[in-house]
């Protein structure tokens, strides 16, 4: 599926979820909001956090749906979780990445309220989106656990697809220098691997081992790349110092010759 090729079922799925959450707006109004979200997820610069990712998260939610209490609210939170996105360098990749969950949650409140979704349901969608800032759901909150697991499910992809995911993420942050990106990515990997568990829902737990294998293999590759980058930096620094020393030496010799001529 191309980034801009929305599946035909996508808008109908948004409509069903909004109506399931209690929306009282017309079908046309609901689908207009759904289309605006599709447009957001299709914006230029989204190499990974794009429409394909949204569809993947929605599909993963459906895989885990039997564990949810309010599946339509979880699906709506999936629609909004990365609706606001900016991979600009001012957003530190290792800390936040490009998805702005706080702004996305506010957008959900504004649009779902306009569609007539009851306030408690709107607030719940807001809170589910905000929970993705940390990806540390309360184990007793099954809806939040499912959403978090669905968002991280790509980490457990088969190796070739995981490789494509890494390529897309790097392309999304191509404006970052290589060393900056590698160090930031390693920081993320350390955070993830340091967790007692990556997935919180019972069904999502099946993704734990393949995800850790992918993350560990990526960490090993990046550590080797960083060591190479550090070695190149040291070599360049040594070459610069050598050139500077030679230049200073030549200048000193010229000064001595000039002084000798003055005597």
| Residue 7 pLDDT class (50, 70, 90 cuts) | confident
E strand or H helix that includes residue 261: helix 208-262
CA atoms within 13 A of residue 118's CA, in its CB half-sphere? 7
Q: Is 48 helix (H, G, I), strand (E, B) or coil?
A: coil
| Residue 143 near residue 128 (C-beta atoms within 8 A) | yes
What's the confidence (pLDDT) of residue 249? 60
Collapsing DSSP to helix, strand or coil, 202 comes out as: coil
* Res 114 pLDDT > 60: yes
Phi and psi torsions of 85, nearest 5°: -140, 140
DSSP conformation class of 137: -
Residue 239: the pLDDT is: 64
Q: Provide φ and ψ at 34, rounded to 5°.
A: -60, -40
Q: Per mean pLDDT, which range of 161-165, 232-236, 249-253 is the poorest?
A: 249-253
Reported pTM:
0.85
- Has residue 101 got a pLDDT over 90? yes
Q: Between the CA of residue 257 and those of 12, 168, 240, 254, what are the distances in Å?
A: 87, 61, 26, 5
Q: What is the model's pLDDT at position 5?
A: 62
More confident residue, 44 or 254: 44
Would you state the pLDDT for residue 57? 97
Closest CA to 122 of 80, 155, 153: 80
Q: Which domains does the chain have, with CATH numbers?
A: 9-262 (1.10.1300)
At 75 the pLDDT is 98
What are the tens digits of pLDDT across the range 46-84? 999 999 999 999 999 999 999 999 999 999 999 999 999
Tell me what percent of the residues of the chain surpass a pLDDT of 90.
75
Q: Report whether 193 contacts 216 (CB < 8 A).
A: yes
């Amino acid at each position: 599926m191309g980034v801009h090729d929305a599946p035909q079922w996508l808008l109908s799925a948004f409509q069903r979820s909004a109506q399931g959450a209690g929306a009282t707006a017309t079908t046309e109004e609901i689908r207009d909001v759904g289309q605006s979200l599709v447009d957001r997820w299709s914006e230029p610069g989204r190499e990974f956090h794009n429409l394909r990712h949204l569809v993947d998260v929605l599909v993963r939610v459906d895989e885990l749906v039997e564990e949810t209490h309010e599946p339509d609210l979880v699906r709506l939170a999936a629609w909004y979780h990365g609706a606001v996105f900016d991979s600009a360098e001012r957003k530190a990749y290792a800390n936040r990445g490009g998805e702005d969950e706080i702004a996305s949650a506010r957008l959900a409140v504004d649009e779902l309220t306009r569609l007539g979704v009851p306030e408690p349901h709107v607030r719940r969608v807001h809170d589910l989106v905000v929970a993705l800032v940390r990806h540390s759901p309360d184990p007793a909150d099954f809806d939040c656990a499912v959403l978090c697991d669905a968002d991280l499910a790509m980490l457990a992809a088969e190796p070739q697809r995981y490789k494509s995911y890494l390529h897309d993420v790097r392309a999304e942050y191509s404006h970052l220098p290589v060393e900056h990106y590698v160090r930031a990515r390693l920081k993320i990997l350390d955070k993830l691997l340091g967790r007692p568990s990556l997935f919180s829902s019972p069904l999502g737990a099946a993704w734990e081992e393949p995800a850790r294998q992918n993350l560990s293999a990526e960490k090993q590759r990046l550590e080797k790349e960083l060591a190479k980058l550090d070695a190149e930096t040291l070599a360049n620094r040594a070459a610069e110092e050598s050139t500077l020393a030679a230049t200073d030496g030549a200048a000193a010799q010229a000064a001595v010759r000039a002084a000798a001529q003055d005597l």
